[in-house]
Amino acid sequence: MITVLRAGPLTTVQDLGRPGWAHLGVPAAGAVDPPALALANRLVGNPPEAAGLEITITGCALRFAPGAMVAVTGAVPTRVRVGSTAVDWGVAQAVPTGEVLEIGPAGTGVRTYLAVAGGLDVPTTLGSRATDTLSGLGPAPLRDGDVLPVGPVCGEPAPVWFSVPVPPARPVTLRLWAGPRVDLFASPEAIFAAEYAVSPRSNRIAARLTGPALRRRVDGELPSEGLVLGAVQVPTAGEPLVFLADHPTTGGYPVIGIVAPEDLPALAQSRPGTPVRFVREGTWT
């Protein structure tokens, strides 16, 4: 069992999500940086889809009883300690029974991931243990005093001595395919000439961007349409937003393009003010 001593402002249980339910209005949710969670799971011998913690910005503190093997990946924290001993990011670490694991604030990036050998054994909803901050499905965000069960250990830690953190490039470059409503914009290719910045209003639902407004050729709103991960929607003010893991399944603002899924983890790890550029993929007409 794990007792939460300090949860931080937003620490949630995440796995690889619950895809396949969008036709019922249920987002996939899951980790916004899936490779980071999968790496943490690999380091402790879990399958990639095992549930771990996604810790936002300020870190957390957890007490383990009994002890467990853990790994920390994603955003690089300023410190990781087991009791009073500093330990490494990106490797499997043993936490003895009764000891406290402290993960400090993120030194780079936004979201740190913690995997525990055996995975977090919280109840599943529609086949996933992920917290969805939009719909409310899955376990609630952690609070001080919460207790988390851990599943049985199912594999050996990976024979990896060290994982090298790779900070996101600046600017973050997002490959963009033409979306279903590109024809509604006066000059859709203006998005490639502009430099945007990640807004402080970003969250697990979407990365909001600040920068040059995209002008529409046709005024008025659309009937609600389906949305997918990475859809770039343009609200009335003209500044785009990029939908992340907890995005809604429908929306009424036009979608100018779709970001390549492989580029989204870097965006999800980008702090407010990080510059963002779009580059053309495929045919734009």
Q: What's the whole-model pTM score?
A: 0.94
Closest CA to 225 of 256, 271, 203, 204: 256
Structure tokens at 34: 């899936």
Is 210 in contact with 239 (CB distance < 8 Å)? yes
Find the mean pLDDT for residues 255-275.
96
The ranges assigned to domains in the chain are 2-148, 172-281
- Quote the percentage of the chain above a pLDDT of 70: 96
Closest CA to 82 of 91, 94, 72, 74: 94
Find the mean pLDDT for residues 65-81.
92
Instruction: Please tell me the predicted confidence (pLDDT) of residue 48.
Output: 93
Is the dihedral angle over the CA atoms 136, 122, 159, 60 positive or is it negative? positive
Is 115 in contact with 74 (CB distance < 8 Å)? no
- Distance of alpha carbon 169 from alpha carbon 276, whole angstroms: 10
Which tens digit of pLDDT belongs to each residue from 5-39? 999 999 999 999 999 888 888 989 999 999 999 99
DSSP 282: S
- Asked whether residue 162 carries a pLDDT value surpassing 70, the answer given is no
- Distance of alpha carbon 220 from alpha carbon 253, whole angstroms: 9
Closest CA to 166 of 273, 61, 14, 269: 269
Q: Which CATH architecture has domain 172-281?
A: Beta Barrel (2.40)
- Distance of alpha carbon 56 from alpha carbon 7, whole angstroms: 10
| Bigger pLDDT: 88 vs 229 | 229
233 phi, psi to nearest 5 deg: -100, 145
Question: What is the edge-to-edge ordering of all strands in the sheet holding 68-74?
Answer: 11-14, 52-56, 111-116, 68-74, 93-95
